[in-house]
Amino acid sequence: MPFLDLADRVREVRERIDAAVLRGGHGQAVTIVAVTKTHGPDAVQAAWEAGLKDVGENRVQEALDKMDVLPLPVRWHLIGHLQRNKVKHLTRFHLLQSLDRASLADAVQSLGALTGRAMDALVQVNTAGEATKGGYEPAELERESVRLAGLSAIHVRGVMVMAPIEASEATLRRVFSAGRDARNTLRGAGHPDATGLSMGMSGDYEIAVEEGATIVRLGTVLFGARAA
């Protein structure tokens, strides 16, 4: 059976997170989202058995395929770019972490109005300033936050940010602290439930937690190298 050491890995990660919370001084609870992209359903099963109830996928279809074969009450997170023609599948997800543009917000609003269900979402903000990354620009966030507050079928739960790969510690801290600022902007613009802060992956999650992350998205540190 694959992932035989996952429980041990989860235990070590939790210990590192606890230590990072103490170092950072924010006192937050931290949720681990197990990112199983390119791994099979067995990775989700192993995560569940190791006590991880939140699973993240980048692609809608890959998530749907796993949902259909796994009778587990997993909380599914969509963490990748979402095309508007696939918004209809959001009803099967616990949280959209990548609400990254106004046109997507309009599509999610339409779905929520149609189904009578407000969709939980994190607003993706490009605090790294990289052209290759999606997300609202920090300079436009206050204006867009007010606009989002007028969309009754979107329940903004916080912010998601992505740091540059192999960035220096100084850069990581700048990107992550800007995530905290973005969350404050949302809360000040009429989103009182915007308490979540999803940031940090396998290579930088401890620094992210020190900077206040409440959600970390972990793949390689849990499951090893991704499948081809």
Residue-level length of the chain: 228
pLDDT bin (cut points 50, 70, 90) of residue 226 is low
Q: Which sequence spans correspond to the domains of the chain?
A: 6-223
Q: Is the pLDDT of residue 228 over 60?
A: no
Q: Is the pLDDT of residue 132 over 90?
A: no
pLDDT digits (tens, 9 = 90+) for 64-85: 999 999 989 999 999 999 999 9
pLDDT digits (tens, 9 = 90+) for 11-68: 999 999 999 999 999 999 999 999 999 999 999 999 999 999 999 999 999 999 999 9
User: Under CATH, what is the fold of the domain 6-223?
Assistant: TIM Barrel (3.20.20)
- What is the average pLDDT score of the chain? 95
Query: 143 Cβ partners below 8 Å, 6+ apart?
Result: none
Query: 171 Cβ partners below 8 Å, 6+ apart?
Result: 163, 164
Supply the pLDDT for residue 111: 97
pLDDT digits (tens, 9 = 90+) for 189-201: 999 999 999 999 9
pLDDT digits (tens, 9 = 90+) for 150-189: 999 999 999 999 999 889 999 999 999 999 999 999 999 9
Token pair belonging to 14 = 């939790």
Query: 45 Cβ partners below 8 Å, 6+ apart?
Result: 70, 72
Token pair belonging to 172 = 């990581």
